[in-house]
Structure 1
Amino acid sequence: MKKTIVKVLTISLMLCLLMACGGNKKTIAVQQTAAPAATTTTAAPAQTATKAETSAPVQEVKELEYAEGTVLRMATGYNSKKTGLSFDADTAKDGIELAGKTYRAGDLKPTWVEVQNILGIKFEDKYQGNSATNELKYWAEKLGDVDMVSGNATSLVEYGDKGAFVDIAKYLDQMPNFKAYLDANPIVRLSITGNTSTGAIYFSPYFDGVNDIERMPLMRTDWVVKLLDGEGAFTAAKSGTLKAAAYTPYMPEKGKVTVDTVKADGSGVFALTKDYDKAGNIVAKMNAALAKGSVSGVEAVNMLRTYIDEAYNGYYGTTRSNLFIGQDAAWDADELVALLRCVVANAYTLNGTDTVQGLFSREDANNQRRVDLFRFAGTLFGVRGLESRQDYLYFGSDGKLYDARQMEATYKAMERMNDLVKEGLISQSFVDTSAETSAKMLENDLGFMSYDYNQTQTIMNETKLQDGEKYMAVMVPVARWYDGSNADGVYMRFTESWRSVKTDGWAISKAGVGDDTNKLNAALKLIDFAYSPEGMILMSYGPKEFIKTNADGSYVTFTFNGQEMPVIADVTQELLWKLTSGNYTNFARMYLGSTLSFAKSQAFEYQCTHEVGKEGAGYISTAIGLGTIKHPELAVTSNMWYASIPTTLPTTSVETDTVNQYTELQNQFNQQKGKINILVDQIVKGYTLEGCSSAATTVNKVANEWGGSQYLFIKQGAWNRLLKFYTQL
């Protein structure tokens, strides 16, 4: 007996996130109640107009039909056995109780039990517990044994173009929710288009949040207050001395630089001037003092205090720390280096020991985390492509593609980071990975600053830090960016760390579903449901028992990003802390089975963010909303420098095979655990590779010996075809 599943819901993304209604079996209403209001995590600026600003009107479609109980064999998950559709033995142990129900090893997680109940589909978990890349490799020769499989976007397109995966685009008219999402977000459609001749889509995209800032600078802000604030001169019972200067000024040494800055109360924007004629450049002044002899930590702090007073004409008063940690923060790379020098040379004042580490990464011995330091370098020194959504690619203001690996500015930025290593301003465990790792940097009061995710890291204010200690997100720095509006660049705040389509997704195996229309329609329906209002809530929050409800069964809501979103249940909050020490992502993936793919709302994560995390993110959110932090846009923009690069570009099979031959280009810039990345290596050791003795020689090697030029030529051709396809949509 066939069952009709679809209910037409062609609405925009924001309305999808606002509501929690729809589905074939029941309607879950979302009504605003007297729930506590919440400060928005982000306030995304208005986007450049696109071809599809609103959803298409509701229209009749041919419904997807399949038999009740149709089985889908799912080789899908996140990146380990713990983060699959079913509980593994380590997580479930002898049985784990969640919201009144006990789950055991092999049982589907609550989210997927609910999907079964709503859609009438049965899931058979075939997931091997690998990363997306390795999961696809495992099944590549036996795709007939599975119906859906995880994979990285590039490989999914490659296999899809060779006929391994179902072209979802052929069924969009039967997938009203997914189609509406793509219509409302053209850059998403471009990111997942696998073939511009046919418009094929071979996988459903995954968003770990969307149109939102991702990584942020994080500081021990209580240390900044301790060093910089107060009347009179800074004194200390004991301090060290600055190392010999290696870093040289990035910002000007004379003249004035004016930047738009958020007012201290967040009510608007004002023009704040850095007066180098009056104050000089702080790095240049410290370097000059070091050239004459030693400089103590106390002397360095007082130099920085005087500089802040003079450069900003007394604006910050005795709360000089606000230059770095306030809503009205306006710090730049040189001011940060001066602060790092002060921090490292005043360990005794800050933690009572002889050692403080300056910059560190979450796992200093893990390449997957070490790369965060070169990402941060891009933000510090105005270099695009180091946080690209695809490889190291970005758009220039001329609309052409560029590759950060083939730009001298990239290596010059790494030279500056290497200077910080020479001065001891980057953690010893980053430099020498055989040393103690950075896992206890905050717990042991050893580390000052990192560049990471706000929620998962600021939760350590609760779990690792003591009263009075504060680890918080701080403002994006001022840097000189070449956005094409001025030949000399523009001093502004810009972040490339902007959420868009991730590099993983789920595909429907053509060999797996075969000629079974039930399987095909069920798989398509699963994708469409995930982008429905009810599905988007379920895939983020888990089932209704984990959400706070009113007496009438409607959700209790709070205001998030201008929308009403569900409030998590008390039991969710309790389990979150009990099972994962407040780490939302781990709890959702390991226990609820949500946020494994599709579109994740940040509203759940926001509620799990520590109050300190909300404070810093709130400052950044306000700055984004007021336009003082710029970012890539998920649209084809008039100035393409501001357009987010699509996560994949539709290369032909021949082009893909050619790109795959450039193994050095891939291997030398790998961002995965246990791999090599020469940008990380350059931070630590400088230029060490044969034939790479400078920025120019390194660019030459990448472009001409490692296939960079040919790679970029192929990618440019693919973009040209994609853009032509877009204009004809």
Structure 2
Amino acid sequence: MRNKVAGGILCAAMLASLLSGCGSSIVDQAATKETAETAEIVQQTEEAAGDKTDLSEVVPLKFNIATGNKSRTMTYNQESPLTLPDGTVVTAGMLKPMWSYVEKELNSKFSDVTIQDVKANDMIQTESTSNFSGANIFGGESIAERLMFYGTEGKFVNLTERMEAGYMPNFKDYLSKNPDVKSAVTAYDGNIYHVPYIAELNQIARTFVIRESWVTGLLDAEGAAYDQSSYDVHYNGFYVEGNRRTGENGGTVTPKIGIDIVKKTDQSIIEIQNALEVKNGETLTKALIQYIADNYDYENPSQLFLGEAAAYDIDEMIALMRCIKANPALLTEGKASAVWPLFVRQSNYREDLLRLSTYFDGVKVHGADSYGARWYIDENGDVQYTYSEEGVYNVLQYLSMMEAEGLIYSDAYDLTEKTNYRSTLWGTDTGEAPSFGFMTYDWIASSTADSLNPDTVVILPPVANVNGAWQYYLDNGRAIKPDGWAISVAGSTEAEIQRACAVMDYFFTKEGSVLQNYGLPINLESGKTYEGPDGIQYPLFTPWVYETSNNVAKGDLSTFLRDWMGCLIPIGYQKEIGFEYQYTSERGFEGWALLQNSTTNFATYAGKGITGDNPNYYKMVPPVFSLTSRQKETISDTTSLDTDDIVEYMFNIVRYQAKGNAPQGAEVAGSYEEYAAKFNERGLGIYEETYQAAYDVMTADK
């Protein structure tokens, strides 16, 4: 193997996974075909890249990879030993199995010098005071911007120069095939100083998952015993007055090629429900059933929300949530007096609520799958800060109306609350004190896990006017992460730099990619693969992997590979979707197929989508922006937008505006002018100008 480390090429499966779309008719199929052909050629030729690294001598390397979680480092920190299939016993303090394997393959001696539970940003801050002399390789979560900055200051090795000199040929080859990644990791001086963690590009990230039986039980069951408790309404509707859905304004939509769904009237279900003289579980639900019958040709009313022909909009979603909220006894068989229609996984995910903005005429909030990506690219190619915009303020008002009706699990606003709400609201049905939730916006594999709740299914997103075109859209494609690793200049000899380059490059070889994505060769069925819902063949885990994961990690395969085996931690590599497919339930597979066979479009770095108002609408922003020293000082000295309290200010609107119950001292913007003033006071103008300048440099032809 040691003679192969430097040579070789990315495997075809990785390339196909990287550049294949979700099977949507909207995704550029020509690009997918071209990628598949390229991958086949690469696999057939297997040209050696000619790496200059000499692996004949043992070279020790020190690593400082901080994640803020001692279970997620290179060192095995579990209390109980792990016995591998070949009889090897791994105990606390040893390198995790994957890192021991890489150590041997690259003829090195690895030392993990990380303070095991330190956060990456704290580690970088501390180590910068000694010019990063304490290790050869530094890395971790959400530190890419810092790695780029210190690289331009001469603290980390210039990888561009190393690649030009013949080192890291596989990473160089990867960047040549993926110019969006290259652009995203190139610093303002035109050089690359870190290798990023790259998620499963050109794949949907998160989506809507619900309890299926609650929809069918409410809308399809004859003689259901609906609840009679009084219900108070606050939400006034979006598709009302001059924005009614009819004709060109979303009167006909196409969830799947060959299926056209026509809304027959301009009725508003929200207006119908709001006008009811008596509002309770029965009247609200029967009004929705009658509305569906009057406006659509479904065999069963639940089909407005479920399956390949679903065609609901945001108002119809909220109308269903009302029916959910108003019928707790029916839905829980009397186990609960309250249920929560919409929830996020935990409080530090509360900004996921803002992702509903897409369905209020395509308002942008996150330019990538990160809450820190608060930018979008406008029709002129300029970046705009989303949180300050009037459209976002309007969405906060709609969310506040939903909050006033009890449609949102309100504990999520408190950042001091650390509960996993998905586990609580979906995973306690049969417990002594069950809690019940209906819908979340999350990852398919984990949200449809049989061990969590066997009733959860993926649904299509709401239909909406996005970028001036009626469509199904998820503004949540998988992204280049702000994670990765870099090589210290002060902490490394030339021999150590060369070996560190070989380590980083290894994870862009075929063997290294499989190792990091799936685990040791003894964890995989030799010569066997399985077919994902995208039609691609992926490595197949042995029964030992599943059995051990069940025993030590409650069946969470991702946690097992990270915390016990050492794979999948945020170093520089390309993650494959095949891992996620493999631990997805049958219902999760069906969810992937539902989305991939639909017309659902989603955000990518290529930014292709239905022609509309903004040609850059579908294009994701870079994971981080490379700032100069002066630009960093400008941001630090004259702006204060990168703080939690600005988000708190936004969520004050959600929590208190509609109910008018703000506690003393809580600022609640009563108008957009008042809302925008807060951002302007915090230096919005200079903030946008500074990041625009950085973006211009990043996207310029270098």
For Structure 1 versus Structure 2, the TM-score category normalised by the shorter chain is 0.7 to 0.9
From 273, 281, 287, the equivalent of 1:297 is 281
CA contact (8 A) 1:147 1:512 kept: yes
Residue of structure 1 in register with 2:313 after alignment: 332
Q: Are 2:376 and 1:394 equivalent residues in the alignment?
A: yes
- Residue identity opposite 2:669 in structure 1: C
1:413 positional shift: 0.5
5 Å matches for 1:319-718?
320-351=301-332, 352=334, 353-363=336-346, 366=347, 368-379=348-359, 382-386=362-366, 388=368, 389=370, 391-430=373-412, 437=419, 438=421, 439-442=423-426, 443=428, 444-459=434-449, 461-463=450-452, 465=453, 470-482=455-467, 489-513=468-492, 516-549=493-526, 554-559=527-532, 561-596=534-569, 597=571, 598-623=573-598, 628-635=599-606, 639-662=615-638, 664-668=640-644, 677-686=648-657, 690=667, 692-702=669-679, 704-718=680-694
Q: Distance in 1 between matches of 2:128 and 2:23?
A: 42
Residue 216 (1) aligns with residue 202 (2): no
For residue 511 of structure 1, give the secondary structure of its aligned residue in structure 2: coil
Q: 1:340, 1:358 within 8 Å by CA — same for their partners in 2?
A: yes
Q: Which amino acid aligns with 2:159?
A: I
Determine helix, strand or coil for the equivalent of 1:451. Answer: strand
| Partner Cα distance (1:478, 1:8) in 2 | 48
2:207 match: secondary structure: strand
Q: 1:97 to 1:380 in 2, by over 3 A?
A: farther
* Aligned with residue 136 of structure 1, among 110, 124, 127: 124
| Amino acid corresponding to residue 282 of structure 1 in structure 2 | I
Q: TM-score, normalised by structure 2?
A: 0.87
In the alignment, is the contact (CA less than 8 A) between 1:249 and 1:284 conserved in 2?
no
Partner amino acid, structure 2, of 1:567? L
The residue number in structure 2 matching 1:27 is: none
Q: Is 1:170 matched up with 2:161?
A: yes
Aligned-residue offset at 1:706: 0.9
Q: Matched residues in 1 for 2:29 and 2:529: separation?
A: 30
User: CA offset at residue 590 of structure 1?
Assistant: 0.5
Deviation per CA, 1:40-81, whole angstroms, max 9, x where unpaired?
A: 99437327969x976899576452225532111111154411
How has the CA–CA distance of structure 1 residues 110 and 361 changed in structure 2, closer, same or farther, with 3 Å as cutoff? same
Establish whether residue 204 from structure 1 lines up as the match of residue 186 from structure 2. no
Out of 106, 117, 136, the position equivalent to 2:104 is: 117
CA shift, 1:695, in A, is 2.4
2:490 alignment partner, SS class: helix
Give, in whole Å, the separation in 1 of the partners of 2:443 and 2:197: 18
**Could you say what secondary structure the match of 1:634 adopts?**
coil
Quote the Cα distance in structure 1 between the aligned partners of 2:414 and 2:280: 26
Give a deviation string over 1:595-619, Cα, whole Å, max 9, x none. 1132221212211112222222321
Distance 1:435 1:643, change over 3 A: closer
Measure the CA separation in 1 of the matches of 2:12 and 2:677: 44
Deviation of 1:419 after TM superposition, in Å, equals: 0.5
Distance 1:254 1:123, change over 3 A: closer
Q: Is the 8 A contact 1:161 1:653 kept in 2?
A: no
Give the residue type in structure 2 aligned to 1:614: F
* 1:343 shift after superposition: 0.3
Deviation at 1:298, TM superposition (A): 0.8
Where does the alignment leave 5 or more consecutive residues of structure 1 unmatched?
Answer: 20-39, 483-488, 671-675
Distance in 2 (CA, whole Å) between partners of 1:677 and 1:126 is 37
Distance 2:49 2:210 in 1: 54
Taking the aligned partners of 2:345 and 2:339, their CA distance within structure 1 comes to 16
Paired AA for residue 214 in structure 1: A
CA contact (8 A) 2:184 2:698 kept: no
Report if the CA contact (8 A) 2:530-2:540 is conserved.
Answer: yes
1:127 matched to 2:102? The reply is no
Q: 1:304 offset after TM fit, Å?
A: 0.6
C-alpha spacing 1:599/1:16, structure 2 compared with 1 (3 Å) = same
- CA positional deviation for 1:204: 0.7
371-380 vs 201-210, which moves further: 371-380
Question: Given residue 580 of structure 2, which amino acid in structure 1 is its aligned partner?
Answer: E
Aligned AA (2:560): F
> Residue deviations 1:136-180, cap 9 Å, x none?
223222310111111411111122121111111112242221112
TM-score using structure 1 length: 0.84
Aligned equivalents of 1:148, 1:84: Cα separation in 2: 13
Give the letter for the 2:8 counterpart. Answer: L
Shift of 1:496: 1.7
Q: Aligned in 2, Cα 1:455/1:636: closer, same or farther, shift over 3 Å?
A: closer
- Provide closer, same or farther for how the CA distance between residues 77 and 544 of structure 1 changes in structure 2, counting only shifts above 3 A: farther
Q: Any idea what SS the aligned residue of 2:95 has? A: coil
Deviations 1:308-355 (A, max 9, x none): 12222x2x112x212212122122110111001000101110001321
Q: Which whole-Å CA distance do the structure 2 matches of 1:475 and 1:334 have between them?
A: 15
2:27 aligned with 1:43: no
Which secondary structure state, in structure 2, belongs to the residue aligned with residue 692 of structure 1? coil
1:71 equivalent in structure 2 = 60
Once the two structures are superposed, residues 242-291 of structure 1 have per-residue CA deviations (whole angstroms, 9 ceiling, x without a partner) of 2133332346435232454344xxxx3432222333xx0101111122xx
Cα displacement (A) at 1:621: 2.3
Distance 1:162 1:144 in 2: 15
Q: Decide whether aligned partners of structure 1 residues 82 and 681 sit closer, same or farther in structure 2, where only a CA change above 3 A counts.
A: farther
Instruction: State the match for 1:309 in structure 2.
Output: 293
Q: Is the 8 A contact 1:175 1:525 kept in 2?
A: yes
Label 1:378 to 1:153 Cα distance change in 2 as closer, same or farther (>3 A): farther
Matches of 1:17 and 1:85, distance apart in 2: 29
The aligned residue for residue 104 of structure 1 is: 91
When residues 165 and 504 of structure 1 are mapped into structure 2, their CA distance, relative to the original with a 3 A threshold, is: same
- Relative to structure 1, the CA distance from residue 521 to residue 297 in structure 2 (aligned partners, 3 Å threshold; closer, same or farther) is same
What one-letter code is carried by the residue in structure 1 that aligns with 2:605? L
Between 336-345 and 517-526, the greater mean CA deviation after superposition: 517-526
Instruction: For 1:184 and 1:435, locate their aligned partners in 2 and report how far apart those are by CA, in whole Å.
Output: 44
Match of 1:284 among 271, 285, 291: 271
The alpha-carbon distance between structure 1 residues 211 and 60, as it changes in their structure 2 partners (threshold 3 A), is: closer
2-structure distance, mates of 1:61, 1:434: 53
How many Å apart are 1:434 and its aligned residue? 8.5
Q: CA deviation at 1:569?
A: 0.9
**Structure 2 counterpart of 1:170, one-letter code:** E
Distance in 2, Cα, partners of 1:335 & 1:508: 53
Tell me the SS of whatever aligns to 1:206. strand
Report the residue type matching 2:84 in the other structure.
L
Residue 29 of structure 1 corresponds to none
Determine the C-alpha separation between the residues in 2 that align with 1:508 and 1:632: 32
Among 254, 257, 264, the residue aligned to 1:261: 254
Aligned residues: 654
